[in-house]
Structure 1
């Protein structure tokens, strides 16, 4: 029974981790501004965001975005225009609600992936907590008295950082692949429509030529008579 409880809690925290790490996908309607928020519980928290425009009509992937701090809701602390993808981290000097607002223009709707989160713990504290958790799970000795174990723990931390970079790169290439696929589909659709318009134009010109020739022959016969 205790093992089942442990497995349940591990599954719960794992599911919570992936839910927090997963980006949010939303539709940015034309002519409208969409804002999303995160609430920091303390000052000097590291606020990070990552977004990518996954889909846009007529190859229109550009958006404008602004980030507002809790102390001033009218003046943005970060403002960018004509961006397809963005990633940045900054220190939130104030406690409270931070907002990131997107505007995609008045021409087309867009689909945007967004990861907007905060972290109020220092990286050293996070790594120490992870080390303690790993040692508790595996009943390891204190790494201060074991240089080999300390080296292994440092290697694990390095792997975790590299995995984080890899995850960001995968998100970047996923976004670029999605945009390229949408561009190919849009180009293919335009080629098909252009071909249809060309065929209809040729048929229309042929019918017009036939009608003009019939009219000329008919008029010439009248004059001959």
Structure 2
């Protein structure tokens, strides 16, 4: 029973809430999203990847409740960032497509905010099983996070490959159509030239 109580306390030791969204960022557009941090020194995770559009890159900026820039980057295809929120309040996460003049971008992103607190454990003697369970839970959390990120990476890679194949197929179609029209045009020109040549030769003989 004591072991079950300790296990429950460890599982509740970290509270987190996250939201995964997919948005369209038009050319020269700037969009911002907000996440509320309830306690100082909470961990903030910001992940995004460009699924489609242009060179698959956007700019990002993270600001704290006081308007100070916590982190920023230019022309990144994907980002997996974890930082610490020093103050509580609403944090601003902005994505910018200002560098693009015509290409729209489709972006999948996730904002994760974790709040840690110390659980009140019952007064018990030292139990080595508690330390083993805590270590196992921490290791499990890291591995699950790595698997999730890997799945998201392969999903994005597959989406980009499909987009590249679709774009290439469209270009091949239009190039083939242009080549066909060019061949038909050249054939018509050749027929006209030959017709004019024989017509001129017949007039000379007469």
C-alpha deviation, 1:85, in angstroms: 0.5
C-alpha deviation, 1:182, in angstroms: 1.3
Q: Which aligned pairs between 1:1-225 and structure 2 lie closer than 5 A?
A: 20-56=17-53, 60-72=55-67, 76-104=69-97, 105-121=100-116, 125=118, 145-148=126-129, 150-225=131-206
As a proportion of its length, which structure holds more strand? Answer: 2
Partner deviation per Cα, 1:125-162 (whole Å, 9 max, x = no partner): 4xx68xx7xxxxxxxx9985543464245324322321
Question: Which structure 1 residue ranges, 5 or more long, are not aligned?
Answer: 1-16, 133-140
C-alpha deviation, 1:170, in angstroms: 1.3
Q: Counterparts of 1:115 and 1:144 in 2: how far apart (Å)?
A: 41
Q: Counterparts of 1:221 and 1:174 in 2: how far apart (Å)?
A: 70
Decide whether aligned partners of structure 1 residues 212 and 36 sit closer, same or farther in structure 2, where only a CA change above 3 A counts: farther
State the match for 2:12 in structure 1. none
Q: TM-score scaled by structure 1? A: 0.72
Q: Is the 8 A contact 2:41 2:87 kept in 1?
A: yes
As a proportion of its length, which structure holds more helix? Answer: 1
Partner deviation per Cα, 1:1-44 (whole Å, 9 max, x = no partner): xxxxxxxxxxxxxxxx99x5451111111221111111222333
State the match for 2:8 in structure 1. none
Partner deviation per Cα, 1:174-194 (whole Å, 9 max, x = no partner): 112211221122122222222
RCO higher in 1 or 2 (8 Å CA, sep ≥ 6)? 2
Q: RMSD in angstroms over aligned alpha carbons?
A: 2.8
Q: Is the 8 A contact 1:27 1:112 kept in 2?
A: yes
- 3-state SS, counterpart of residue 150 of structure 2: helix
Instruction: Report how many residues are paired.
Output: 190
Q: TM-score scaled by structure 2? A: 0.78
